[in-house]
Amino acid sequence: MADTPVLAQIAPPARRITPTMPVALAILFGWLMVALTAPLIAPYDPDAIDIVNMLSPPGAAHWFGTDQVGRDVFSRVLYASRVDLLLCFAGVLPPLLIGTTIGLLSGYFGGVVDNVFMRIYDLTVAFPFFVLVLAIVGVLGPGLLNFILALALVGWVSYARLVRAQVLTIRESEYIQAAKCLGYPPRAILSHHVLPNAVGPVIAYAVSDAVLVMLAGASFGFLGLGAQPPLAEWGVMIADGQAFVQQAWWICLFPGLAAISLGLGFALLGDGLGQIQRRGVTA
């Protein structure tokens, strides 16, 4: 009879997906396809200026109308999806990796390591999130890359706190103690036993955090501190159309609806993952 691994665990029962997750995946997949195929399906160059057709209302020639310099709003909305999706992933992934690493080390080793990281955490959360991001962007200068860097410098604290709380519980589990008794090195314990059991809530939080990152990117673009014109980005487009909202409502409306739909997709997916995680905890 083959030997059974000492640390083998019983696989949890299959968990059903929530009703909202297919809708969320459909929305996100749709926008991903739009971003990938934007050069193929956009009827116009998003940066092409057409003075003759300035502020044209939606019609057969321009489905979403044109803006104050005659650029096709529909084409710009399509191309802007690439920037905003990139912003969602680039704004979440670095804080996720940094915060998860710090949370793992801080929660597992404790002592001096935990004290150092937690003091850095306390210093960071002493300032409001958006105020700190705004200050960093103000120092580095406006631009999409600087905004993403500011998010990485500030956003990791939420992930570190969440992972640390998970690790503090997991490290006292019997299978972790058994791994230590068998002489497993800390790196193996962290990568094979602690991280897989702590990552579930973090992934659910990261998906929900993508909504806040997207809204923050649109807000900073609106303020002129994020993506810079003439780059097509939904926040920038809304800011461009603000002065013409009474006579050309379509300039703001369609980018706003696009941002809402993408945010809804991430919110529904994050809510579904959170429900699945809660079911697993209570099972």
Break the chain into its structural domains and give their ranges.
20-37+63-282
pLDDT reading at 73 higher than 90: yes
- Give pLDDT, residue 226: 81
Question: What whole-number distance in Å separates Cα of residue 191 and Cα of residue 209?
Answer: 24
pLDDT digits (tens, 9 = 90+) for 211-265: 888 888 888 888 888 888 788 889 888 888 888 888 899 999 999 999 999 999 9
Mean pLDDT of the chain: 84
- Give pLDDT, residue 27: 94
pLDDT digits (tens, 9 = 90+) for 140-198: 888 888 989 998 889 898 899 899 988 888 888 888 888 888 778 888 888 888 888 88
- Give pLDDT, residue 270: 84
Confidence of residue 16 (pLDDT cuts 50, 70, 90): low
Q: What DSSP character marks residue 69?
A: T
Least confident of 8-17, 97-106, 112-121, 145-154: 8-17
Nearest residue to 42 (alpha-carbon basis) of 77, 84, 68:
77
b/e map of 185-199 (b: 16 or more CB within 10 Å)? eeeebbeebbbeebb
The residue type at 198? A
- Give pLDDT, residue 85: 92
Confidence of residue 15 (pLDDT cuts 50, 70, 90): low
Question: What whole-number distance in Å separates Cα of residue 49 and Cα of residue 69?
Answer: 6
- Structure pTM? 0.81
- Give pLDDT, residue 220: 85
CATH of domain 20-37+63-282: 1.10.3720.10
Nearest residue to 98 (alpha-carbon basis) of 164, 161, 152:
152
Cβ atoms of residues 248 and 68 within 8 Å: yes
Burial tier of 259 (Cβ tally within 10 Å: 0-12, 13-18, 19+): buried
